[in-house]
Chains A and B, each alone.
Chain A
Amino acid sequence: ILNVEQSPQSLHVQEGDSTNFTCSFPSSNFYALHWYRWETAKSPEALFVMTLNGDEKKKGRISATLNTKEGYSYLYIKGSQPEDSATYLCAFKGSARQLTFGSGTQLTVLP
């Protein structure tokens, strides 16, 4: 079983703060790295799919970077809002057909 780790496990920030968290994954046999957002009582939704070393993706105030050589991805949220409160999941796609998910970072944005 592949090792995909996310840190921190949970995070509390004040509204307006910027924050970031990390996903670590195997640096060999890399195919893609996914980020999902999972809000309470909703379905997880895809944020980004990243495939190239050095990739940067952005959606509104959320952005992500990818380093496949060292096996990590950062997710950044600029000016956090209460509606950003969710669990953020990363998932690694290697040579296997399926994704391997990390355990998630639970973000709480306090008003």
Chain B
Amino acid sequence: DVKVTQSSRYLVKRTGEKVFLECVQDMDHENMFWYRQDPGLGLRLIYFSYDVKMKEKGDIPEGYSVSREKKERFSLILESASTNQTSMYLCASTPGGGTDTQYFGPGTRLTVL
């Protein structure tokens, strides 16, 4: 079974803090994704990566950056957290090679005060 883990289930930070959300997958998947989920808006793609050290912007990259130094790990960074970044953050991975089925982590619910 593919396992995607995220570093925290719940996180509370203060405005202006630098926040790191970590995601690790254990099935040697090529592709990794970061989404945020807000009520009524569905999953919105923040950033994705198709290879180590490679990243592409999704639909809502503003205020975020990412890092993929190793194949299994994809980090989402909030350089200076703001209250409008309070959300549920989901990490996902896919094997690549034309297989798009997403394997999701359990999510991190981030609250920025």
- A residues with CB within 8 A of B: 1, 4, 6, 9, 32, 34, 36, 41-46, 49, 89, 91, 93, 97-104
Instruction: Give the chain A neighbours of B52 by CB distance below 8 A.
Output: none
Given contacts A36-B102, A46-B102, A99-B45, 15 further A-B contacts (CB under 8 A): A4-B42, A34-B102, A42-B106, A43-B90, A44-B90, A44-B104, A49-B100, A91-B102, A93-B100, A97-B56, A98-B33, A99-B100, A99-B102, A101-B42, A103-B40
Which interface class (under 10, 10 to 19, 20 to 34, 35 or more) fits B?
20 to 34
Are A49 and B101 within 8 A (Cβ)?
yes
- B residues with CB within 8 A of A: 4, 33, 35, 40-45, 48, 50, 56, 58-59, 90, 100-107
Instruction: Give the chain B neighbours of A44 by CB distance below 8 A.
Output: 90, 102, 104
Q: Count CB-based A-B contacts (< 8 Å).
A: 53
With A42-B106, A98-B58, A103-B42 in contact, do A34 and B4 touch (Cβ < 8 Å)? no
